[in-house]
Structure 1
Amino acid sequence: MQALKRPYFWHAIYTRSRAEKRLYQELCSKNIECYLPLKKELRQWSDRSKWVEEPLLRSYLFVKVSEREYYDVINSNFAVRYVTFGGKAVSIPEKQIEALRLFLDDENRKVDLCTDYLETGEVVEVISGPLKGIQGEITQIKGKSRIVIRFDSLGTCVYTDISLDSIKQVQIVMH
């Protein structure tokens, strides 16, 4: 008899304070697929400066689990709880996780985080460059054109500069 294949979904998990990397390591050792978005920052001390990798989203980690691994994650040492809505863990579309990975993989691109409410903008798709294929919203932040990936369940947006000639409008199909 063939084993039943369980569906896997991405979820955000809230971590203990400053324990994102430790939870990531713990979950990887349990063979649970997870993603910790990191950004490089230049830190300045009195005697030196050094590039360090810091979590982009403080106290959050993304996990891709089925029902079987769901409780393994929450029972980990550094996990607090899933990000929920109406008592149920919110699933995050695979496309958003992949777009976030592409944003952060380009070391020449400055990526910022915004927790201010941004007006919903025009939905666009990047048609050229390293972000080709990503869909997001185009908006103006601090006078520059930016593409935004909105994580409503986390109350945050990730954005980066984008050239207007490298995007096209996406037609929204209503059902």
Structure 2
Amino acid sequence: MVLNNDAGKQRWFPVYTNPRAEKKAYASLISKGVEAYLPLQKSLKQWSDRKKWVEEPLLKSYLFVHIAENQQAEVLMTKGVARFIYFSGRISAMPDKQIEDLKLLLASSLELEVTEEHLQPGEKIRIKAGPLKGLAGEMIAYRSQKQLLLRLESLGCSIIVNMAASFVNRA
């Protein structure tokens, strides 16, 4: 008999939330003592009488939890959490590096836009200059000389990064 030594190991799991409930689900998870990450970006919103900077989720209806597999039921019983994300019939886990890379992207001064287009895999790339120097990814397409598509396979989405094409090398 082989024991699963990973059963108690904490890993990052993407979680799908109810629509527009990301911040409430995040707060509920934190109050339960669950380590969670909600990537937020600031955007300027215009109302009829004023403009205001607000923090909105980068990935609509997604947040990430850092848990052991035996904590999944506790996460699902959290208000605002709809379900875990599945990939090939199993709950999708993300490498720590992808969460670190996402945090790095948000900490940079680059403009980010998320798309859920179904894109075909392309060349592996490495960023050679700028605030994201050393970051590896997969080139999906050029939108222009300053807009690149990088794929995060665990989420099934891509991130559009505004940066000069000259900052990228083939890996």
TM-score (norm. length: structure 1): 0.84
Amino acid aligned to 1:169: R
Q: Alignment partner for residue 63 of structure 2, among 56, 61, 64?
A: 61
C-alpha distance in structure 1 between counterparts of 2:51 and 2:60, whole Å: 22
C-alpha distance in structure 2 between counterparts of 1:60 and 1:39, whole Å: 13
C-alpha distance in structure 2 between counterparts of 1:29 and 1:129, whole Å: 37
C-alpha distance in structure 2 between counterparts of 1:23 and 1:89, whole Å: 19
Question: How many residues are matched?
Answer: 166
1:120 corresponding residue in structure 2? 121
Residue 72 of structure 1: SS of its match in structure 2? helix
Deviations 1:75-109 (A, max 9, x none): 11111110013442111122221111111112x31
Q: Alignment partner for residue 78 of structure 2, among 76, 79, 97?
A: 76
Contact 1:14–1:61 (Cα < 8 Å) also in 2: yes
2:31 corresponding residue in structure 1? 29
What is the RMSD computed on CA atoms of the aligned residues? 2.0
Deviations 1:124-163 (A, max 9, x none): 1123321122111234343235444423343311120232
How much has 1:52 moved relative to structure 2? 0.6
How much has 1:9 moved relative to structure 2? 1.3
Contact 1:32–1:63 (Cα < 8 Å) also in 2: yes
Residue 138 of structure 1: SS of its match in structure 2? strand
Contact 1:138–1:145 (Cα < 8 Å) also in 2: no
1:19 corresponding residue in structure 2? 21
How much has 1:35 moved relative to structure 2? 1.0
